[in-house]
Amino acid sequence: QGCMEAQLIALLSFSKMFWVQIPAQGTAKAAPKCRLSAVCPKDHFPFKIWSGAANVVGPKICFNGKNVMSHILNNVGPGLNIVVVNGQLDGPDILTYLEKIKPGMIVLVASFDDAATKMTDEIRQMFVDMGSTLIRSVKHRDNWVFAGRAGIKIKSIFEQAKHPENDEITNVFDGWPEMVQVGGCFPMTKSV
């Protein structure tokens, strides 16, 4: 009781593929994971996603208590940084990567530097089909974080975007938006 199978994670970042195995949960006393303020229910995965900041600080993705993507792990890069839970994918092409995501798989995304320049309408539509409502408005140098589920087509509550401020007084990063983050408890069931 309270145990879960290990999760296989596929990571895609700037044309590199990484695999990370998340160990099954033990029976130790529950504590908040992924820097959340509360413990998630047993039928939910804790997660947190941070976008990059300017073109200097890379994004970070934590899933089920383990940092699976970060600058420190050296597995992030400019553009979209994508984590697919229980994904078995190959090939560096982002559209091919997204097309192979099976319905029900959890998808976590963090932008870094400029994700919009090479994003086609077809790629954007794939994220809409996973529950994104902001992807169509993501433009040059915007920061975007998202957690959704492939094939569900229900609006995700786990999404944030930030556009660069053109105000020289309030703009901290000289033409780059501030970092955005989203986190919470993602349901394990594939129907939500």
Mean pLDDT by 10 residues, the chain (192 residues): 44 50 57 92 92 87 91 88 67 74 90 83 93 92 92 91 67 74 88 48
The pTM (predicted TM-score) of the whole model is 0.73
**What's 78's DSSP letter?**
S
CB 17 within 8 A of CB 92: yes
CB 26 within 8 A of CB 65: no
Domain boundaries, the chain: 7-24+33-187
pLDDT (0 to 100) of residue 80: 87
CB 54 within 8 A of CB 176: yes
pLDDT (0 to 100) of residue 96: 81
Partners of 161 in beta bridges: 144
pLDDT (0 to 100) of residue 14: 45
pLDDT (0 to 100) of residue 49: 95
pLDDT (0 to 100) of residue 16: 46
